[in-house]
Amino acid sequence: MARNILLIFALAFLTLSPIARNVPAGATSLGSQDPDTLLEPSVAGEARSILDNLYRGKSDLALEQTERYIEANQDHPLPYLIKARVLREALPEQDDNKELIRKNAAPMHDILDKVIDLCETRMKAAEDDSEHRFYRGWAWMFKAQLHALGGSYWSAGRSAAKGNQDLKKYLSEHPEDPDAKGIMGTFLYFADTLPAVIKFVKTLFFIPGGDREKGLAYLNDACAEGGLLATDHKIILAAIYTLFEGRFEDGVSRFMDLLEKYPSYLRLVEPLGVVRTFYPSKLWQLMQIENSALDRHMAEQREGVDWDTIHRLRYHRSYSSMFFESPSAAIQEFRALVDEAPDRPDWLVPLSLMNLGCIYANLGEADKATDACNRILEDKGMKRFHDVAEEMLEGNHLIENSILEADAGFIRHIYILEQAWAKNGLEDYRERKGATVLYDFYSGEALLLAGDLEEASNRFLSALDQEVPSCSQAYQLLSAVRLAEIKGVQQDYKSAEKYLDKSLDYYHEEFLIDMLIKARKRFYERLSKGESDITPSVLVYAPRTLD
């Protein structure tokens, strides 16, 4: 629990340099001026070019550009901020190892301190220097994010307070500046929406108060009005709608629009890889987007390829394949990740082993399931997973007969909406295996995608009624999530909240799954209170058939 609280706290600051790692602020537009009028055209143009290369998946080229950019503009803060932004791309913020994060963040802190020094020198020489107040505020906010990710929460709060003071003053004088509104909007949103336990201690960290509605309004303005950071703010807003507001429909649409322009930017693909589990009507489409992006990048053996994100995407693809495509494909990918043993993120290998343990247990291969759990227990670096591994070992013997088959073809047919083949496959499965929790879940899925919500609900409820070990509880978690969406379609938002709460009771270790469930629950809470009139539509689909 403590890990999740600190993670959410860090994520709040993470989006100050957005969740897909973007938040530099660039040339500003004072009042109604054009966003670039405060800079020489070559200075603003180079900043745009660097960010554009970053979004085109060319971080190595972007970093080379920043060196030349700084050399040509040594007394201007913007090139240093852009360099910090490019370096931020490689920060291992998903690791539990805070010391590693702090070590990697140190060069960025040095650059941001340089920005602050430059700005303060210029501000002392000028009676009113709004431009450099803006850059200083941005640098303090960036430092707050880095401190939070490294677990230095006191320093994060102090830096955020200084950044908030600068940006508030700047916006009081230039209320229409889109870049400043975007940065401030991000802060206001997260300062207001942190969990209650964090709000309770925020005064200890000197974190200023926030305003969710104003923050969202600022961000929407920043996206619409343009500026150097318009793309950054579009990514932030898409991430907020997906991971925090629970507006999956809106968030997914925004990420897909961004991918149309930047198909090589893998960090736009990652949220889609996680959320598709909750989006049955787009599940197959989102899986194809991820597969295409992964295959293209893994074929490029060049400097600058974002291997950390590739590893995470491979994990998310394996997790999704486990339920929605082919258990055998999931085994192959999880085993490959374990054998390759990438250093980052540090949760990837233990979670891959845990999922292998679940798959093998459900296949009835107890020896392989036990081996996966023992590999976790033998590794001191995976200590925080030891309790769960021991619980799984105790539960493996509860599966008297296998409930899963490595090549269950009917699963794929359900999601490409080949209903006749799916029905025949399910009937054949039941004859061989019985009405297992797996049968109930996939029968519910087939009925759901055929539009029969009542019978789908009955099947999902049947899945929840079964007593199964932890290795099989993911099917119950997903059944509860589907019941919530059915209730959402029926405008029974209170029941939707109830089922999402229930889903969290079932075994799962993926913290992003946890975040998405809680975000969707907040979405339904607002609907039930009449604070929103958005229509849930993750169950609306366009039929597909076999090629």
Span 314-362, pLDDT tens digits: 999 999 989 998 889 999 999 999 999 988 888 899 999 999 999 998 9
Q: Where are the domains of the chain?
A: 2-244, 410-528
Q: CATH 3.30.70: does it fit domain 2-244?
A: no
Q: What's the confidence (pLDDT) of residue 541?
A: 52
Range of 279-288, 403-412, 525-534 with top mean pLDDT: 525-534
Q: Cα(17)–Cα(19) distance, rounded to whole angstroms?
A: 7
**In sequence order, what DSSP letters do the residues of 161-189 get, joined into one string?**
HHHHHHHHHHHHH-TT-HHHHHHHHHHHH
pLDDT confidence bin for 197, thresholds 50/70/90: very low
Alpha-carbon Rg of the chain, whole angstroms?
Answer: 24
pLDDT confidence bin for 132, thresholds 50/70/90: very high
Find the range with the poorest average confidence among 41-55, 155-169, 221-235: 41-55
pLDDT tens per residue across span 12-23: 434 443 333 233
| Shared fold status for 2-244 and 410-528 | yes
Biggest CA–CA distance in the chain, Å, is 83
pLDDT confidence bin for 463, thresholds 50/70/90: very high
Of 165, 162, 167, whose CA–CA distance to 222 is shortest? Answer: 167
- May I ask the CATH architecture of the domain 410-528? Alpha Horseshoe (1.25)
pLDDT confidence bin for 121, thresholds 50/70/90: very high
Q: What's the confidence (pLDDT) of residue 2?
A: 36
pTM of this prediction? Answer: 0.87
Spatial contact of 23 and 186, defined as CB atoms under 8 Å apart: yes
Find the range with the poorest average confidence among 265-269, 301-305, 416-420: 301-305
Q: Cα(27)–Cα(44) distance, rounded to whole angstroms?
A: 6
% of the chain at pLDDT higher than 90: 45
Instruction: Name residues whose C-beta falls within 8 Å of residue 454's C-beta, 6 or more positions apart in sequence.
Output: none
